[in-house]
Structure 1
Amino acid sequence: MDAFVVRTKRPAERSPTKVKSQNHTQSTQSESKSARSDRPTWKTVDASLLVHDDSRCAPSTKIAAFDLDETLERTKSGRKAYAATADDFKPLNEHVGRVLRALHESGYKICIFSNQGAVKSALEGSRATTVRIRLERLTETLDVPFQAFCATQINKEGKVNDPHNYRKGGDGMWRRMVRLHNGGVEPDLAECFYVGDAAGRAGDHSDVDSVFAKTVGIKFYTPEDIFVEGEAWKTS
């Protein structure tokens, strides 16, 4: 009888390329998920406040707080901030990024407290969108994490649009930051300061920034005091 051979079918080998592709996809998905979790988030509060939060902002007893318009940023065109597009902004000067990064590395949490009255109650409208885009771009430009609180409503005679006094010189934005956005850590007011251009000087549009700092009970500086060579916040 003739011998015969039974040929068994060998299991198909996995394609190294395919496995690599799967691993790469899983790695990419994991990295994307991580990147998304690190991205700043937005909240709208009480129909009168925009809140920009960043998970990289650690709670701190030391708060370095800033106004936005004509303090951290100015327009390229010279237009007023409320009338400008999101593409029309740049840092106030060449020292802004360096100073904020140095403060962050020294243990300060960076916060922005800004009146953005042009938004009004339209917290999903075009003006609000411009504010969001500006702050997201500012995070990338300055390469430093920060929280931002933007008051959008103004109390008028006979109509209370801002019952929580978020608008400066009320201290509602500061109180909300302490209560809900600082991990339960109470700021040491002696170690905190606020920087703004509205100081009540000749030519200033108001004194609302200096009033805000006084109401909160922290030191006040103008941009010209802080955004200079060296580390002025340590000696001022």
Structure 2
Amino acid sequence: MIKKLKDSINENLKKEEWRDIFLLRLQGKTLADIASEKEISRQRVKQVIDLAFSKISEVEEDKYKDLFENYMWTESLFCEFFNEESIVFRYLNLKYKMGYNDLIGLYNETISESQRNILDEYLECKEKQISNDNWNNEFKAFLLKHSLTAKKVADITGLSKPTIDSYMQGKRKPTDANKQILKEKIGFDVLRSMYNFNEVEYEFCTNCGKKVIKNWKFCKFCGSELKSDII
């Protein structure tokens, strides 16, 4: 029977030195911190960590391996998403190589409604952070990519050219109303821009009718299995 991480540590790391060092590492301490605290070399600390992993072998928390290696997680999101303690995230981060795929791809995985809500909230907060920190840079990059001048955007959206110029130069950030105009008229959405959504295909969910990314397995809105009615 595969045991939980904490149980496996207590049962398999009989040497107190090994157990203490391994737990300190899982608490977020660096090799240098542990070496200083235990008055041993960093090489010895690393050796003990490697030995600890060989003794612990497989634990229940290894079930997260595939998702951990596929996506770029933050510790806080991982712990909330899976309802786990920080020690689990750090264990996985030491044992495996975290992935680089955008977390938005989790909508294509089999996840619960509560996990979907957590992901929705995280991405919404991330969009706001991107909007606050990098909106102007993303807007300028979007216009360059699509060969749109300030005058052309002004003609399409009805916003003034000086207003568009100020956005491109980073002198001002748009109001929510103007963001919506830019989204509707020229298709600029800062979060979609960051994830290159303008280059993907979409389909409609046959259950709820919402538009989702092509080739996803499940609808992010209602959770039903998707068909292949490509728009």
TM tier, smaller: under 0.3
Answer 1 or 2: which has greater helix percent. 2
Normalised TM-score (structure 1):
0.23
CA radius of gyration, larger in:
1
Answer 1 or 2: which has greater strand percent. 1
- Report 1 or 2 for greater relative contact order, CA contacts < 8 Å, sequence distance ≥ 6: 1
Normalised TM-score (structure 2):
0.23
